[in-house]
Amino acid sequence: MTRERAVGVPGLLWLPAALAAGLLVLPVVALLVRADWRSLPADITTPSALDALWLSLSTSVVATVVCLVLGVPLAVVLARAHGWPADLLRALVTLPLVLPPTVGGIALLYLLGRRGLVGQTLDTWFGISIPFTTTAVVIAQAFVAMPFLVLSVEGALRTAGTRFDVVAASLGAGRWTVLSRITLPLVMPGLVSGTVLSFARALGEFGATALFAGNSPGVTQTMPLAIYSAFNGAGVTQGTAVALSLLLVFAAVAVLLAARAWRPGRAA
């Protein structure tokens, strides 16, 4: 039997590579080891745990839909725009990625809070108050998750270029037809990975939600907040926190695996 021999990896790389893998994987292993598997079924089926799980999943789905509906147009505009205003906007869009989420939460309060820039108007004119509602949870999640979608879709659009769009236009296709039948299908891999990343980010969101939406069970207490509360021993044991954490880990792994299994054009 013959085997192809690649250039290979320098031996010195193995140690840092192993350490990196350990740093990323061992905490989850510790969680698995530490878990009390006998009380696990009971821990994760308590009404408050199920409430938190349902709230997390539903708000994350809605936040992801918001990211898609608003983020894809923004990505298209950014990918096709030139000049310094576009460069500036591109930099600002990535701000939520580098900002601590707690800062994002405070910023959202100053924008949409009862005395906020826009919130005051909403309150006095329409009687709408956003903070500490489920809507606030979705807004906070969309705020931290949208950059992932915009960045990956914009990157895919730039890589794809506009040559296929030019051909499609020469065949008589208007701008909407070109976008829906050529441009977006061509960036589908970027769109899918951006969507998955956004959903995962929304699911794990904590800081901005805590400050902007609060920690009210059934209304704004998503899984990360429930885990934090449980861990700090507010009435429940740390075992519940571990159990809830495991549930979130499994949900995240399931999403990532589902995304990996889907490959465009593989069926062809």
Partner 1 sequence: MTSLHAEVAVRRGAFALDVTIAAHPGEIVGVLGPNGAGKSTLLAVLAGHLVPSAGVVRVGERTLTAVWDQRVESAVRPEHRSVGLLGQDPLVFPHLSARENVAFGPRATGTSAARARVVADEWLAAVGLAGLADRRPDALSGGQRQRVALARALAAEPAVLLLDEPFAQLDVRTAAELRELVREQVRRTRTATVLVTHDVLDAVTLADRVVVLHDGQVVEQGRPLDVLTDPVHPFTAALAGVNLVVGTLVALPDGSTALAGPDGVVVPCASQRPGGRAQVTFSPSAVTIGDGWSATVVDLEPGTTGVRLRTSGDVLVDLPPAQVAQLGLHVGAQVRLSVPAEHVRVRPLT
What is the binding site for partner 1 (CB under 8 A)? 163-164, 166-175, 177-178, 181-182, 185-186, 188, 264-265, 268
Nearer to partner 1, 34 or 181 (CB): 181
Tell how far CA 262 is from the center of its chain. 18
Structure tokens that stand for 10 in this block = 């320098």
What is d(CA 206, CA 228) in angstroms, rounded to the nearest whole number?
Answer: 9
* Cβ 166 to partner 1 shortest distance, Å: 7
Nearer to partner 1, 185 or 233 (CB): 185
Element (DSSP H or E) covering residue 29? helix 14-34
Nearer to partner 1, 189 or 239 (CB): 189
- Helix, strand, coil share (%) of the chain residues, nearest 5: 75, 0, 25
Q: What ranges in 94-237 are assigned the alpha helix state H?
A: 95-98, 101-112, 119-121, 134-160, 163-170, 175-178, 184-186, 188-204, 207-212, 223-231
* Cβ 185 to partner 1 shortest distance, Å: 5
Nearer to partner 1, 2 or 170 (CB): 170
* Cβ 64 to partner 1 shortest distance, Å: 23
* Cβ 177 to partner 1 shortest distance, Å: 5
* Cβ 164 to partner 1 shortest distance, Å: 6
* Cβ 70 to partner 1 shortest distance, Å: 25
* Cβ 78 to partner 1 shortest distance, Å: 21
- Name the nearest CA neighbour of 157 among 85, 86, 89, 81: 81
What is d(CA 49, CA 173) in angstroms, rounded to the nearest whole number?
Answer: 51
Structure tokens that stand for 162 in this block = 């506009």
Nearer to partner 1, 261 or 268 (CB): 268
Nearer to partner 1, 9 or 171 (CB): 171
Per-residue burial over 50-62, b if 16 or more Cβ lie within 10 Å, else e, is: ebbbebbbebbeb
Tell how far CA 45 is from the center of its chain. 25
Q: What is the dihedral of CA 51, 224, 254, 33, to 10 degrees?
A: -110
Residue whose token pair is 């949900």: 251
Nearer to partner 1, 168 or 251 (CB): 168
